[in-house]
Amino acid sequence: MTRADHQSGSDRAFEAISRIDPEQDADTIVNLQGDLPTLDPELVRKCLRPFDDKRVQISTLAVPIRDAAERTSPDVVKVVASDVGTAAEDVMRALYFTRATAPAGEGPLYHHIGIYGYRRAALERFVSLPPSPLEMREKLEQLRALEHGMRIEVAIVDTVPVGVDTPGDLERARDILKPVN
């Protein structure tokens, strides 16, 4: 329903909100990824929680990694975050996103969940920026925002929706969503 030439899901979200809300009544936009078919609606509310802090431009979600295989899997995007200077409990500031195992040392690793909340002005700024070197290297659009000094806060949650990135993931999602007779 949006143009096929977009570089990112955020570009598609901006086109969509520009079409359906040309008067710019909506201040906050949530970009839900189509590859998360089991996303609990409560997670959308939690993604909005960081916006209680007026300084936050972009929000997203993460969950502590509990499965040892996910710690090293390049298919699991990790967020390196800190709670220094954040205004709410269970909210951290994103410092970096990576497919690598990070950070090093003792402590939790966080599995990024690909849902984003944007203040409208932040989304407009984000889509006006060119893809950044780290974004292209890691193939993670949120690095564009960080490289350009935008603030992303991460609400920590306790569940990971099923992501569909491989044929095996698709089968797993179909099994979960199969109607019960």
Per-residue pLDDT band for 156 (boundaries 50, 70, 90) equals very high
3-class secondary structure, 117: strand
Band of pLDDT at residue 159, cut at 50, 70 and 90: confident
73-130 pLDDT per residue, tens: 998 999 999 987 776 789 999 999 999 999 999 999 999 998 999 999 999 999 999 9
Give the residue among 112, 99, 117, 92 at the shortest CA–CA distance from 9.
Answer: 117
Q: Which amino acid type is present at position 46?
A: K
Q: What would you report as the CA-atom Rg of the chain, rounded to the nearest whole angstrom?
A: 16
pLDDT band at 139 (very low <50, low <70, confident <90, very high): very high
Average pLDDT rounded to a whole number, residues 33-38 = 76
Confidence (pLDDT) at 163: 75
* pLDDT higher than 90, residue 172: no
3-state secondary structure of 83: coil
Domains, in order of start, for the chain: 9-177 (3.90.550.10)
Per-residue pLDDT tens digits for 36-86:
777 888 999 999 999 999 999 999 999 999 999 999 999 899 999 998 777
- pTM reported for the whole predicted model: 0.88
Query: Which amino acid makes up residue 136?
Result: M
Rounded to whole angstroms, the Cα distance separating 80 from 102 reads: 7
